[in-house]
Amino acid sequence: MTAVHESVLDAIGGTPLFRLARLGAGIAAPIYAKAEFLNIGGSVKDRAALSMVLAAERDGLLKPGGTIIEATSGNTGIGLAIVGRQRGYRVIAGVADKSAAEKSDILRAYGAEVVLAPTSVPFEDPRHLFHVVRRLAEEIPGAWLANQYDNLANPDAHVRTTGPEIWEQTGGRVTHFVAGVGTGGTITGTGGHLKEVSGGSVTVIGADPESSSYGGGDGSPWYVESIGHFLHPETVEDRWPEAYRSEVVDSFERIPDRESLLTARRLAREEGLLAGPSSGAAVAAALRVARGLGPDDLVVVLLPDSGRSYLSKLHSDTWMRAWGFLEEAETDGLRPLLDAAEPLVTVDADATVGDALELLRTAPGGVAPAVLPRPARPYGLAPAEVVGSVSRDALAAALADGAAKPGDPLGALVGPALPVVGVGQSPAEARAAVGEAREVVLVLVDGKVAGALAREALS
Ligand code: PMP
């Protein structure tokens, strides 16, 4: 019989597994997806939110009339809003300003207050979301900071619920567990429990964005939201969350954005599971792992949230094309022009005027993106790393009229960021993006800046 609940809080957890029959076709090992978007708040974070609030009440940190505060990518905020409001608290969610707008809207709908702050600045910067919510927690009387990254009630939720559910649902046959790592709560709690009940025989695989530092990347930016560990080039002291225990993870599959996003789109079309980008990363990792396994193995992959929060992003063809993740018939797009253009030139934002001028000799249109200095760029240049532009004409003019000397740092000579189009967009769209005032447009392939096209190349 279908369940009848006295409280929505009773509808957290107990999510079904779905066999990925189409994506897994031709693979001997069965792959089952744990559909966490079927939780009452729509994500795996409902579990952590309930666990953290109950633990805070038990420990006397949260009292009647209190305020729950958290920095959240959205899903933890939704979970905390539902649990918090049901238990009579005020809820304030600090949301990264780059998060999808739908995420803030839904938090407000559940009765939370939303404070936006950046996460793209160095961690030490007082404007960073982390410090903004800490200050609020100090200033508001009776406030409790949930602190999901270091709160051990977060992984504990999965030790008590997600792990045992998977063990029971598979009748103890699960051999591999695959999940993304954000706070690490899911993989640490679920993976840790499955290892324990199986006598250590379950293998735990982390699905990580290619450039994330959990799996061995340099921490440079990626697109898939809510998973991975980002490292701003100016961050001095980096540490991993306490909710994450790296020894639980046997290995990582490092998944490029394109593979994650395209896999999430296939999940919706081929399996009827509309999920978010971190689910795409996890399933892409599960497919890679399962290909090397046999019929006696059983892979469980966790889908953290629903694709409804990303309809204007990965589930939109327009968005995918604008970021260079979708390329149609080559003649329609910018690929031929990109192949014919001079290679991309970038200038470090802290270079000298003289050095920059030298670099700009071969830049298409005499203009190049100014970028945050990062020694090597093995994962390509993300638009978020472009801080502005440098123009040969502007530098030459500044030298000619004595406003700058060749040894000066670029400083105020760094101009505004350049317009950006995806390689799958048309030359007409690229021309429109350049407009009348600019000389050059940057072109993205798989979300990374792959080249620059000067206005003349587009006519
Ligand atoms: N995917 C999504 C969509 C999430 O919201 C989160 C949690 N921030 C994760 C993955 C990662 O889960 P965890 O924090 O438990 O590692």
* pLDDT per residue as tens digits for the range 210-260: 999 999 999 999 999 999 999 888 788 889 999 999 999 999 999 999 999
Averaged over 43-67, what is the pLDDT? 97
Beta-bridge partners for 32: 19, 300
Per-residue pLDDT, 371? 93
Query: How far, in Å, CA of 369 to CA of 346, rounded?
Result: 5
Q: Does any ligand 1 atom lie closer than 6 A to the CB of residue 181?
A: yes
Q: Does any ligand 1 atom lie closer than 6 A to the CB of residue 36?
A: no
Q: Which atom of ligand 1 is nearest to the CA of 186?
A: 15
Q: Does any ligand 1 atom lie closer than 6 A to the CB of residue 227?
A: yes
Averaged over 411-436, what is the pLDDT? 93
369 contacts 343 by C-beta, under 8 angstroms: no
Per-residue pLDDT, 325? 96
pLDDT over 80 at 328, yes or no? no
Per-residue pLDDT, 101? 81
Q: Residue type at 63?
A: K
Residue 45 bears catalytic tag: yes
In the CATH scheme, what is the code of domain 8-42+152-318? 3.40.50.1100
Q: Does any ligand 1 atom lie closer than 6 A to the CB of residue 175?
A: no
pLDDT over 50 at 69, yes or no? yes
H-helix segments, 92-162: 101-109, 129-139, 153-157
Per-residue pLDDT, 327? 78
Q: Which fold has domain 45-145?
A: Rossmann fold (3.40.50)
Per-residue pLDDT, 331? 54
Query: How far, in Å, CA of 132 to CA of 141, rounded?
Result: 16
385 CA to centre of ligand 1 in angstroms: 24
Helices (H) and strands (E) in the chain, counts: 15, 16
* Nearest alpha carbon, ligand 1 atom 4: 226
Residue ranges matching CATH 3.10.580.10 in the chain: 322-458
403 contacts 395 by C-beta, under 8 angstroms: no
Mean pLDDT of the chain: 94
Per-residue pLDDT, 121? 86
Contacts of 109 (CB under 8 A, 6+ apart): none
134 contacts 127 by C-beta, under 8 angstroms: no
45 CA to centre of ligand 1 in angstroms: 7
75-113 per-position pLDDT tens digit: 999 999 999 999 999 999 999 887 778 788 999 999 999
pLDDT over 80 at 418, yes or no? yes
Query: How far, in Å, CA of 201 to CA of 52, rounded?
Result: 29
| Residue 158 three-state SS | helix
User: Which is the catalytic residue, given 45, 103, 195, 448?
Assistant: 45
Q: Does any ligand 1 atom lie closer than 6 A to the CB of residue 15?
A: no
Q: Which atom of ligand 1 is nearest to the CA of 276?
A: 3
Confidence (pTM) = 0.94
Per-residue pLDDT, 436? 87
pLDDT over 80 at 15, yes or no? yes
Quick count: other Cβ atoms within 10 Å of Cβ 393? 12
74 CA to centre of ligand 1 in angstroms: 10
283-325 per-position pLDDT tens digit: 999 999 999 999 999 999 999 999 998 999 999 999 999 999 9
Residue ranges matching CATH 3.40.50.1100 in the chain: 8-42+152-318, 45-145
Quick count: other Cβ atoms within 10 Å of Cβ 329? 8
* Nearest alpha carbon, ligand 1 atom 12: 182
H/E stretch holding 302: strand 299-303
* Nearest alpha carbon, ligand 1 atom 11: 182
Query: How far, in Å, CA of 313 to CA of 315, rounded?
Result: 6
Which of 51, 156, 278, 279 is the best mutation target for the ligand 1 pocket, counting ligand atoms within 8 Å of the beta carbon and taking the most? 278
Banded model confidence at residue 330, pLDDT cuts 50, 70, 90: very low
Q: 262 vs 69, 100, 131, 214, 221, CA distance in Å? A: 35, 19, 35, 22, 19
Q: Does any ligand 1 atom lie closer than 6 A to the CB of residue 451?
A: no
Contacts of 348 (CB under 8 A, 6+ apart): 370, 371, 372, 373
Distance of CA 169 to the CA centre of its chain: 29
Share of the chain above pLDDT 70, in %: 98
Phi, psi at 387, each rounded to 5°: -100, -10
pLDDT over 80 at 71, yes or no? yes
Q: Which fold has domain 322-458?
A: CBS-domain (3.10.580)
Q: Does any ligand 1 atom lie closer than 6 A to the CB of residue 212?
A: no
224 CA to centre of ligand 1 in angstroms: 11
CA-based radius of gyration for the chain: 24
Q: Does any ligand 1 atom lie closer than 6 A to the CB of residue 182?
A: yes
